[in-house]
Amino acid sequence: MTQNTSWKNVVKALENLNNSNLIEIEKILTIEINKLAQLIKSSGYYNEKSKKLKNLCGFLEMNPINELQKLEIEEVRDKLLSVKGIGNETADSIILYAFNKPIFVIDAYTKRLFSRIGICDKNVSYESLQRIFHNNLEGDFRLFNEYHALIVEHVKNVCKKKAICERCILTSLCNTVF
Ligand code: SF4
């Protein structure tokens, strides 16, 4: 739901689902897809996102969360990636934030910040950048959770497309001060 949109728009979509009493797997599976799309319209790409949401809920109906929780990270990741519409970032976000398992989430914000400070190329692959975090940090889900959240906050507020470098605490490390 968060892809290619602002968090504010996602909140609106979630509020609509909540107000319609739809925050349940069975209810998402039962609601007619066009109605679902209208409820999440604010999140953008709503036709695609409503299909993906239904696919994910179909998967979760067949694979109960408490069973997925018991699996090793690679096993649960492979299962999530087999769902149509679920990519690396979504799978890893679910594993980190819903299952509390240590896998580092890479997103466009992470690539922007770490390429600007010279840790990676701006076209780095998802796996390569993730490996840098895994090889250099203790595998603690709380650390990965907080670290990713801090990257998002920093890039959203300071290292924007048009960066506000005078407000940045990383200027001494950065290769790309504007
Ligand atoms: S100095 Fe500027 S470009 Fe570098 S990380 Fe900070 S905000 Fe981004």
Taking only the tens place, the pLDDT of each residue in 44-53 is: 999 999 999 9
Take residue 49 and report the two structure tokens written for it.
């996102």
Residue 172 lies in a domain: no
Cβ neighbours for 20, distance < 8 A, ≥ 6 positions apart: 39
User: Could you give the CA distance from residue 78 to residue 12 in angstroms, rounded to a whole number?
Assistant: 31
Could you tell me if the CB of 117 is within 6 A of ligand 1? Answer: yes
The confidence score (pLDDT) of residue 121 equals 95
User: Could you give the CA distance from residue 144 to residue 150 in angstroms, rounded to a whole number?
Assistant: 10
Cα dihedral: 97, 124, 83, 63 (round 10):
-30
Could you tell me if the CB of 132 is within 6 A of ligand 1? Answer: no
Residue 22 lies in a domain: yes
Please tell me whether residues 49 and 11 are part of one structural domain: yes
Q: Which domain holds residue 142?
A: 108-167
Domain count for the chain: 3
- What's the pTM value of the predicted model, to 2 decimals? 0.91
Please tell me whether residues 83 and 118 are part of one structural domain: no
- The closest-lying atom of ligand 1 relative to the alpha carbon of residue 174 is 4
Residue 113 lies in a domain: yes
Residue 178 lies in a domain: no
The confidence score (pLDDT) of residue 1 equals 86
Q: Please give the average per-residue pLDDT across 2-24, as a whole number.
A: 92
Residue among 113, 119, 122, 161 to mutate when testing ligand 1 (max atoms within 8 A of CB): 113
Which residue minimizes the CA distance to atom 8 of ligand 1?
159
CA distances from 106 to 37, 93, 109, 148 (A): 27, 9, 8, 8
Q: CATH number, domain at 53?
A: 1.10.340.30
- 163 alpha carbon – ligand 1 mean position (Å): 6
Quick one: CA dihedral 167, 157, 177, 138, positive or negative? positive
User: Could you give the CA distance from residue 67 to residue 63 in angstroms, rounded to a whole number?
Assistant: 7
- 131 alpha carbon – ligand 1 mean position (Å): 23
Tell me the pLDDT tens digit for each residue of 118-148: 999 999 999 999 999 999 999 999 999 999 9
Tell me the pLDDT tens digit for each residue of 68-91: 999 999 999 999 999 999 999 999
Could you tell me if the CB of 158 is within 6 A of ligand 1? Answer: yes
